[in-house]
Chains A and B, each alone.
Chain A
Amino acid sequence: MNYQWWEYLFTLPGNQIPWWAEVVRSVIRLLIGVAGALGSVPILVWLERRLLGLLQGRLGPNRVGPFGLLQPVADALKLFMKEDITPTNVDKTLYYLAPAVALAPIVMSVTVLPWNASRDWGAVAPGLDIGILFLLGVASIEVYGVILAGWSSNNKYSLLGGLRASSQVISYELGMGLSIIAVLLMSGTLGTQAIVLGHDPAQPSGYFQAGTTLTNGQGILHYVPVNGVLSSGNIPAAVPVHDALSGFWHWNVLKLFPFGLIAAVIYMISMIAETNRAPFDLPEAETELVAGFHTEYSSFKFAMFFMGEYANMLIVSAICVTLFFGGWLAPWGGLSQLPYSEALASSFGGGVGLFIVNLINYCVIAPFWFVTKLYTLISFFILVRASFPRLRYDMLMRFGWKGMLPVALVNLVLIAVSLAVQQTVRERWAKETTDDPTLAAWWLGQLTAWAIGGIILGVLFLNIYRDYRNRRAATATDPLAIVPIRRDTVVRPMDPATLPE
């Protein structure tokens, strides 16, 4: 078959193109991903400053350009024009390496985040079926940049910032990892695209996967616009929507209610801690540590940290959207695609009709939903930053180890129990009846998990209640007994008998 060059580069499915076309495609996808991650940084900076201003009763930057939209450009220009100072006693190698180490893994982790349904164009590396493992591995490297910066700066504040960052990230990565494992249990796969779709796109499932190619007898290739069943002929007309695409109640955040929700909340909290943002911004707490780990950095090197911080915020939000909020899926199935009809396709003219419909579905509608969810989430984090005061260091550690970790662990166990019961029931009943046991199995599994969870919650509540009762009893005699900072420090008066004469 003779294909045009643009068919090789853009329309043919991935298994029918020569290696050079795949290389060019990869480079194009990579450029899209990197441009998306780093290009969003100025928008994010603008959004954060503007929204934070509005939430604090100010207007925010509104001078440079319309609505202050060019403010990040002015900021960047100011940063790059500044003198690049390298202090005398720094460890030069690590000092120069640190910003790159902080920025690079963030850009790397964009590779597995899917932005549309296409099997060939859905992400920078759409076929990577260990997506989440890759994310976990790469995201942990970022903290090395912070630690290296703190260590190499030869400055006590930097070092303290780096130490705080390392302990904080280690503590909160546990809860984060456990909540991610919860998602893996629920969706049964590591691939990000499969997690979004709720099933593995590589498995034949009675549906035609999005991105499947079909020939219509004259050798013209078509794509199936979204996952669905073909109803008639060999032209994908009137494609019904796969039920994974049919609405927000299939997203992981509402799966196995409320365990998916708990996992999502834990992920979101640890994600703020992971990106060192308020109220967990102890590594760069201005009031305590000047600027924390980047105290000694200026000009472009500081800009790299700054960019890394905001890109990291974007990436972890994107991971959150992908894992819990259905990625590029629309909140309602009908909104995730153009309503397909022959008339619509032919209105674009002849053979390219379906191609254009697909193009709009893939390149406009799916990324639109992804970006909308992403920025809604980021706006929420800006609201959190505006609302909550910074935690004290011991509170941070206590919250991480005594709060997040046990909750995440119990949540994971309950999900496992629910899924195990469901699977057992399904297998047992599949032998005995011909009815579909999925719904009944779901209820049985969930009831089991709810019962165990209820018992644990009850014990937890009684524990908290006992603490309250004790505190009330203590305050009856000494009103200062409940001040937490005094609770652990006990001053014992010396025994007069031991005093020297």
Chain B
Amino acid sequence: MSDFWADVKQIASEVVAPFKGLATVGSKLTERKTVISYPEYRRPMGVRARWQHVLNRYDNGLEKCIGCSLCAGACPANAILVVAAENTDKARYSPGERFAVRYEINMIRCIYCGFCAEACPTGAIELKDNFELAEDSRKSLIYTKEMLLVPDPNRERVD
């Protein structure tokens, strides 16, 4: 007889199961959502995140990049173009003899491996946490030196 009632209980539980399911899902309606509304709220990026490159400066405003092209050589995707030129006393960009007159990274080719940063002898290039790299055309995804260089701390911005 105990078997009989166990079966009755089992059948009853199978009958109410769909309604239990409805109640469970329905209770989600007012539950606090774990969604983070992205453009307004962002999750903190990891300290070693490797996204868009930046070209650093020294504290006195000179560029760290000396145009040695080691980054371009280390790049497995061949995404970096460096054209170097001589520093003169009138136009001095970096502390060494040469500086990068053109520095371009093709962000579509780049695989964000960070080899360029490892190869750099002066720590000029670094991968930082700006990951919003979407553009409408391929051309605008070739980032130039002006876009990569951090602003000069000794100059006021005029924009």
Binding site for B on A (CB under 8 A): 51, 54-59, 62, 383-384, 386-388, 461, 464-465, 468-469, 472
Chain A neighbourhood of B29, CB < 8 A: 51, 54-55
Which residues of B from 42 to 58 have beta carbons under 8 Å from A?
A: none
Query: Chain A residue with minimal CB distance to B24?
Result: A387
> How many Å from the CB of A57 to the closest CB on chain B?
6
| Contact sample, A vs B, 6 pairs, CB 8 Å cutoff | A54-B28, A55-B26, A59-B35, A464-B11, A465-B4, A468-B10
Please name the 3 residue pairs, one residue from A and one from B, whose CB atoms are nearest each other, closest first: A387-B25, A468-B7, A387-B21
* Pair A56/B28 contact, Cβ less than 8 Å: yes
Distance between Cα atoms of A56 and B26 in the complex (Å) = 9
Query: Chain B residue with minimal CB distance to A386?
Result: B25
* Pair B18/A465 contact, Cβ less than 8 Å: no
Is B34 part of the contact surface with A, judged by Cβ < 8 Å? Answer: yes
Distance between Cα atoms of A55 and B25 in the complex (Å) = 6
Query: Chain A residue with minimal CB distance to B39?
Result: A63
Query: Chain A residue with minimal CB distance to B11?
Result: A464
Which residues of B from 35 to 82 have beta carbons under 8 Å from A?
A: 35, 37
* Pair B11/A57 contact, Cβ less than 8 Å: no
Distance between Cα atoms of A43 and B26 in the complex (Å) = 21
Is B33 part of the contact surface with A, judged by Cβ < 8 Å? Answer: yes
* Pair B22/A59 contact, Cβ less than 8 Å: no
Chain B neighbourhood of A55, CB < 8 A: 25-26, 28-29
Query: Chain B residue with minimal CB distance to A380?
Result: B22
Chain A neighbourhood of B3, CB < 8 A: 469, 472
> How many Å from the CB of B29 to the closest CB on chain A?
5
> How many Å from the CB of B78 to the closest CB on chain A?
36
With known contacts A58-B35, A59-B33, A388-B21, A465–B26 Cβ distance under 8 A: no
Q: How large is the interface on B (under 10, 10 to 19, 20 to 34, 35 or more residues)?
A: 10 to 19
Distance between Cα atoms of A384 and B29 in the complex (Å) = 13
* Pair B22/A383 contact, Cβ less than 8 Å: yes
Contacts A58-B33, A59-B37, A387-B18 supplied; 6 other A-B pairs, CB < 8 Å: A54-B33, A59-B35, A387-B26, A461-B11, A468-B10, A469-B3
* Pair B25/A383 contact, Cβ less than 8 Å: yes
Is B89 part of the contact surface with A, judged by Cβ < 8 Å? Answer: no
Which residues of B from 81 to 102 have beta carbons under 8 Å from A?
A: none
- B1-31 CB mask vs A (1 if < 8 Å, else 0) is 0011001101100000010011011101101
> How many Å from the CB of B28 to the closest CB on chain A?
5
Query: Chain A residue with minimal CB distance to B7?
Result: A468
Query: Chain A residue with minimal CB distance to B4?
Result: A465
> How many Å from the CB of A326 to the closest CB on chain B?
23
Distance between Cα atoms of A57 and B4 in the complex (Å) = 40
Query: Chain A residue with minimal CB distance to B25?
Result: A387
With known contacts A465-B4, A468-B7, A57–B33 Cβ distance under 8 A: yes
* Pair A469/B28 contact, Cβ less than 8 Å: no
> How many Å from the CB of A303 to the closest CB on chain B?
27
Distance between Cα atoms of A489 and B114 in the complex (Å) = 58
Distance between Cα atoms of A124 and B18 in the complex (Å) = 38
Distance between Cα atoms of A383 and B31 in the complex (Å) = 15
Chain B neighbourhood of A383, CB < 8 A: 22, 25-26
Distance between Cα atoms of A388 and B7 in the complex (Å) = 25
Chain A neighbourhood of B31, CB < 8 A: 57
* Pair B35/A384 contact, Cβ less than 8 Å: no
Query: Chain A residue with minimal CB distance to B37?
Result: A59
Distance between Cα atoms of A57 and B3 in the complex (Å) = 40
Chain A neighbourhood of B28, CB < 8 A: 54-57
* Pair A468/B11 contact, Cβ less than 8 Å: yes
Query: Chain A residue with minimal CB distance to B20?
Result: A387
Distance between Cα atoms of A465 and B29 in the complex (Å) = 37
Distance between Cα atoms of A472 and B6 in the complex (Å) = 11
Distance between Cα atoms of A267 and B21 in the complex (Å) = 21
With known contacts A54-B28, A465-B7, A469-B7, A384–B33 Cβ distance under 8 A: no
For B34, give its contact among A57, A62, A384, A465 (CB under 8 Å).
A57
Chain B neighbourhood of A469, CB < 8 A: 3, 7
Distance between Cα atoms of A58 and B28 in the complex (Å) = 10
Distance between Cα atoms of A58 and B25 in the complex (Å) = 12
Distance between Cα atoms of A383 and B25 in the complex (Å) = 7
Chain A neighbourhood of B35, CB < 8 A: 57-59
Chain A neighbourhood of B26, CB < 8 A: 55, 383, 387
Chain B neighbourhood of A465, CB < 8 A: 4, 7-8, 11
> How many Å from the CB of B76 to the closest CB on chain A?
38
Chain B neighbourhood of A386, CB < 8 A: 25
Distance between Cα atoms of A465 and B37 in the complex (Å) = 52
Chain B neighbourhood of A58, CB < 8 A: 33, 35
Distance between Cα atoms of A55 and B28 in the complex (Å) = 5
> How many Å from the CB of B37 to the closest CB on chain A?
7
Distance between Cα atoms of A51 and B26 in the complex (Å) = 10
Distance between Cα atoms of A388 and B11 in the complex (Å) = 19
For B22, give its contact among A56, A387, A461, A468 (CB under 8 Å).
A387
